[in-house]
Structure 1
Amino acid sequence: MKRNLVLQTDFGISDGAVSAMYGVANTVDPEIRIFDLTHDIPQYNIWEGSYRLYQTVNYWPEGTVFVSVVDPGVGTSRLSIVVRTAANQYIVTPDNGTLTHIKQDIGIVEARIIDENVNRLPNSGESYTFHGRDVYAYTGARLAANVISFEEVGPKVGVDNIIELTRPKAYLEGEVVFGNIDILDIRFGNLWTNIGRELFIESGVEYGDSLEVTIENNTHQVYKNIMTYGRSFADSHLGEPLLYVNSLDNLGVAINQGSFAKAYHIETGANWKITIRKISRLISN
């Protein structure tokens, strides 16, 4: 049975790059089912590529093949690999940190280096700037169509050697929770943190509690205010901030029908820190 092929890139769709990847995959086997994860990863943003895989992979059937191309090091000595996850999915990607979240949160059981003597688009010449088409889409399609087995991708490489990006961990001190702004819910401007729901609950909070939220960029305070922890956006008034649990079971920060990120110029990454402490419940007349 053929597997699904899911594509993710930072190419955008304003030119023919993604279409070329589709064409290569269809040339391998026109019956392959091809889907887009996203092609709107910010250019060269390996961290976001890693996170979007983590956000998506578990919701696809076992055996699905993902091709992720966010590759600022294309043409360099960085490896091109295919991994098999603990959930028996396959990811075709440069080994540049794109697998950070998958490795740490889902697990990788085996990795193989793509043998370009076998798994490279025929007649693709001496181009070393479009591996997304010539190597990754081609290899991913061959794997999805069962033209090659996982073992035929190429030689094994140690899972421990797969490159990981720096990824801070959330933690609890007393009743205060410390974390980072991992990513944005881009369409709506909500902040998605690395604070898991279970860790947050350990601090003793309950729905309806008021909490002081502080956001810093390095040591510069960007935001400080009191907001409510709610089940949904209905637990706040229009334009009010709130804390909620997002679709990945992590804590989110939002403005009801507004963009928190735009309102306060919040970005993401290891330098963007969030602190949450419980205060006495606010009572309004």
Structure 2
Amino acid sequence: MKKALVLQSDFGSSDGAVSAMHGVSHSVDHQLSIFDLTHDIPPFNIWEASYRLWQTMMYWKKGTVFVSVVDPGVGSTRRSLGVKTGTGHFVITPDNGTLTHIDRTAGIIEAREIDETINRLPHSGESYTFHGRDIYAYTGARLAAGVITFEQVGPRVDVPSLTHLMVKKPQIHGRVVEGLIDILDIRFGNLWTNIQRSLFKEMKVDYGDTLEVVILHNGRPVYQNEMTFGRSFADTHMGEPLVYVNSLDNLAVAINQGSFAKAYGIGTGSNWEISFRKVKE
């Protein structure tokens, strides 16, 4: 039975790269259902590629095949992988850290290195700079269409050997909860953290309480302020900051009808730490 194929990359849409990936996938099976997750990952940003996979995968049917190509090491000795997740999804991607968030949450139960002698677009053997088309889209489409089984992707590799990005786990110290700024709600400039609502509520914070928010970049403070913990943006005036629970059930920070990220020059990743402290009344 055919499975959906979902493509992600940092290629953008200003040239024919994405269309070429679609074309290769379609040539494998013209009835294959092909979708785009995003092709606007910032160039070479493996962290964001990892996060967007995690953000999206849980809402797709079991068996869906994801192809993620953010590959600054294209043409090098880095491995090309196919993995099966604990949720029953499949990912075709370089072994460069793109699987970090998925492995931490859904888990990876099996990994295989792509056998390029079988799973490579015919007559592309001398191409070393477009593996997204020649290897990943081609292999992903063959797996989604049922042309190959997962076992036929290639030889099995040890899951612990996969490359991971550094991640700081959220934790509580007294009245302070700490974590990372995982990603931006890009269009609106909100900060999405990796601090789960369930962990945050252990501090017995109620809606309407005041929190002190501190943001560090490479260990240096770049922002500190007090703001309200609210249910939605309606709990603050326009232009005021707010702490809220986002659509993934994690803590987030925003400016009502403004971009927090642009206002304060905030980025994302393992070197952007954030903490919340309940202010005593």
Contact kept in structure 2, 1:113 and 1:154, CA below 8 Å: yes
Give secondary structure in 1 for the equivalent of 2:115.
coil
Give the Å deviation of 1:160. 1.2
1:52 is aligned to: 52
Q: How does 1:140-155 map to 2 (within 5 A)?
A: 140-155=140-155
Aligned length: 281
1:177 is aligned to: 177
Give the Å deviation of 1:218. 2.4
1:41 is aligned to: 41
Contact kept in structure 2, 1:175 and 1:204, CA below 8 Å: no
Runs of 4+ in 1 over 4 A off after TM superposition: none
CA deviations on 1:265-284 (whole Å, 9 max, x unpaired) are 11112221212111145xxx
Mapped partners of 1:133, 1:218: distance in 2: 36
What letter is aligned with 1:10?
D
Give secondary structure in 1 for the equivalent of 2:137.
helix
2:234 is aligned to: 234
1:113 is aligned to: 113
What letter is aligned with 1:147?
V
CA deviations on 1:240-266 (whole Å, 9 max, x unpaired) are 110011111110000111100001111
**1:259 equivalent in alignment to 2:259:** yes
2:73 is aligned to: 73
CA deviations on 1:72-97 (whole Å, 9 max, x unpaired) are 11111111010011111000000110
Mapped partners of 1:114, 1:125: distance in 2: 14
1:274 is aligned to: 274
Mapped partners of 1:219, 1:50: distance in 2: 23
Unaligned runs of 5+ in 2: none
Mapped partners of 1:119, 1:75: distance in 2: 16
Q: How does 1:199-218 map to 2 (within 5 A)?
A: 199-218=199-218
**1:126 equivalent in alignment to 2:122:** no
Contact kept in structure 2, 1:179 and 1:193, CA below 8 Å: yes
Give secondary structure in 1 for the equivalent of 2:58.
helix
Give secondary structure in 2 for the equivalent of 1:59.
coil
What letter is aligned with 1:41?
I
Give the Å deviation of 1:125. 3.5
Give the Å deviation of 1:199. 1.0
Contact kept in structure 2, 1:215 and 1:223, CA below 8 Å: yes
Mapped partners of 1:112, 1:176: distance in 2: 41
Give the Å deviation of 1:219. 3.5
Mapped partners of 2:22, 2:76: distance in 1: 25
Root-mean-square deviation over aligned CA pairs: 0.9
1:159 is aligned to: 159
Give the Å deviation of 1:62. 0.7
Give secondary structure in 1 for the equivalent of 2:270.
coil
Give the Å deviation of 1:227. 0.6
Give the Å deviation of 1:220. 2.7
Using the size of structure 1 for normalisation, the TM-score is 0.97
Using the size of structure 2 for normalisation, the TM-score is 0.98
What letter is aligned with 2:76?
T
CA deviations on 1:117-158 (whole Å, 9 max, x unpaired) are 100000114011110000000000000110111111111011
Mapped partners of 1:269, 1:124: distance in 2: 35
Contact kept in structure 2, 1:11 and 1:39, CA below 8 Å: yes
Mapped partners of 2:146, 2:191: distance in 1: 40
Bigger shift: 80-89 or 177-186? 177-186
Mapped partners of 1:219, 1:138: distance in 2: 43
